[in-house]
Chains A and B, each alone.
Chain A
Amino acid sequence: MQAVGSIMGALFLPTPALALPQGLDGTSPLAYPGPAWSPYVVGALIGVLSWLTFYFSSKPIGASSAYATIAGLLGKIVAPRRVAKLPYYQEKQPQLNWSLMLLVGISIGAFLAAWTGNEITGRWLPPMWEARFGEGTLWLRLLAAFAGGALMAFGARLAGGCTSGHGISGTLQLSVGSWVAVGCFFISGIIVAMALYRI
């Protein structure tokens, strides 16, 4: 498994390890570039964007439900009768909708931002992961990424939203559940991140 990981790593990792600023370990997030723009400017503009989505689309910004829509659309191809039986999809018909377009737009917008800012990465392994777990650990990264994604989607559907839907849109409307949920996101997120990188 290790050998397979190394070979895949060599195939997919043409980029040499980045030069680190002096005195910083590769497992420190501060060893790598931060935001291109001021986070306050970006945050304020996201706030303004939420005004626009409320006004023009009558929708709060949210990202996670689009993945459920895609899963439902794929399910409709493979097992349409199963989809029709599931309570979640009975309530929320899987179809091309505003949220799904928003998710597609996010990828396009991020590509444009990275392209104009010379920040296209084209990497399979984040450098910080590589510094912590080694270069031949692509399989481990993909496993963690997949498992993390599955947990996030299940948790977001149960909690009723993600870092966007609860973390920004719900909190800004003063929803109690959103403030509770976002607190929980960070509590267990911090525990898992510390376990991965600092223990």
Chain B
Amino acid sequence: MTTKSMTNSVAGAGVRQLLLGLIFGMAFGFLLQKGGVAKYHVLMGVLLLEDFTVIKVMMTAVLVGMVGVYVMHRLGMVEFHLPHTRYGANIIGGLIFGAGFGLSGYCPGTNAAAIGQGNFDGFAVAAGLLTGSWLFAEASGKMKATVQTWGDRDKLTLPALLNLRRGTVTILLAIALIALLVVVELTASR
């Protein structure tokens, strides 16, 4: 296969994939806005523990997504795309992320949705996101050699950690998520 025909076939598959990305993104953004999570006060509301809309959206999405992806995987229809478990990086990066989330009031995905609905302060968040991404890229060599080696557990999953079957964990977690959603619905004012 010549280089040119290879490039062409990659580009052909690429266009379909890019279009799918755009369509899925539009669906995601549409849902985020309808779910109220493009709104500053709704996102700050969950961090102030006063508005639980974000929890309801996220936990329902995880519940439905988890069961469906599990079944599809059992049927051989999809593969998993697990992120890395690196305790040091997950915790330190997670805490840095959370601080930024509280400060800006949007997260990376909901910020794009906030901009779409006309929250212009989202442009400042986006500028910050670009800057922070660049700073990380500058630090990436150092991070890889230090923080990202701390507690590296590769693609560890809850079933592997608990020594249970994936189906068992899925059912237990589904029950726990439903129970939590019921508690939130009964106790939270929103």
A: which residues have CB within 8 A of B? Answer: 12, 28-37, 39-40, 42-64, 66-68, 70-72, 74-75, 83, 86-89, 96-114, 117, 119-129, 141-198
Query: Residue among B119, B144, B147 with the most chain A CB within 10 A?
Result: B119
- Could you list 25 examples of A-B contacts with CB < 8 Å? A46-B35, A50-B61, A50-B65, A54-B81, A57-B17, A71-B134, A109-B113, A110-B29, A123-B118, A126-B40, A145-B106, A146-B128, A148-B103, A149-B131, A149-B132, A152-B96, A152-B129, A153-B132, A154-B132, A154-B139, A157-B140, A158-B92, A158-B93, A188-B96, A192-B47
B29 touches A34 (CB 8 A): no
Residue on B with the closest CB to A90?
B140
From A48, A107, A145, B113 is in contact (CB under 8 Å) with A107
B56 touches A121 (CB 8 A): no
A56 touches B20 (CB 8 A): yes
Give every chain B residue within 8 A of A55 (Cβ-Cβ). 72, 77-78
Residue total for B at the interface (Cβ-Cβ under 8 A): 129
Q: Roughly how many angstroms separate A123 CA and B169 CA in the complex, as a whole number? A: 45
A185 touches B94 (CB 8 A): yes
Shortest Cβ distance from residue A101 to the other chain B in the assembled complex, whole angstroms? 3
From A83, A144, A156, A163, B103 is in contact (CB under 8 Å) with A144
Extra 16 A-B pairs, beta carbons < 8 Å, given A100-B21, A148-B101, A175-B82: A43-B63, A44-B64, A46-B60, A61-B24, A70-B130, A101-B18, A103-B112, A105-B27, A114-B116, A154-B133, A158-B147, A159-B92, A159-B97, A177-B153, A184-B91, A188-B94
Query: Residue among A54, A74, A154 with the most chain B CB within 10 A?
Result: A154
Q: Roughly how many angstroms separate A127 CA and B48 CA in the complex, as a whole number? A: 16
B: which residues have CB within 8 A of A? Answer: 17-42, 44-45, 47-51, 53, 56-66, 68-69, 72, 77-87, 89-122, 124-141, 143-144, 147-148, 153, 155-159, 161, 166, 169-170, 173, 181, 189-190
Q: Roughly how many angstroms separate A110 CA and B27 CA in the complex, as a whole number? A: 8
Q: A44-B60, A184-B90 are in contact. Are A114 and B38 (CB under 8 A)?
A: yes
A188 touches B130 (CB 8 A): no
A170 touches B134 (CB 8 A): no
From B28, B100, B118, B139, A105 is in contact (CB under 8 Å) with B28
A145 touches B85 (CB 8 A): no
B93 touches A111 (CB 8 A): no
Q: A51-B68, A106-B109 are in contact. Are A158 and B148 (CB under 8 A)?
A: yes
Shortest Cβ distance from residue B165 to the other chain A in the assembled complex, whole angstroms? 11
B96 touches A151 (CB 8 A): yes
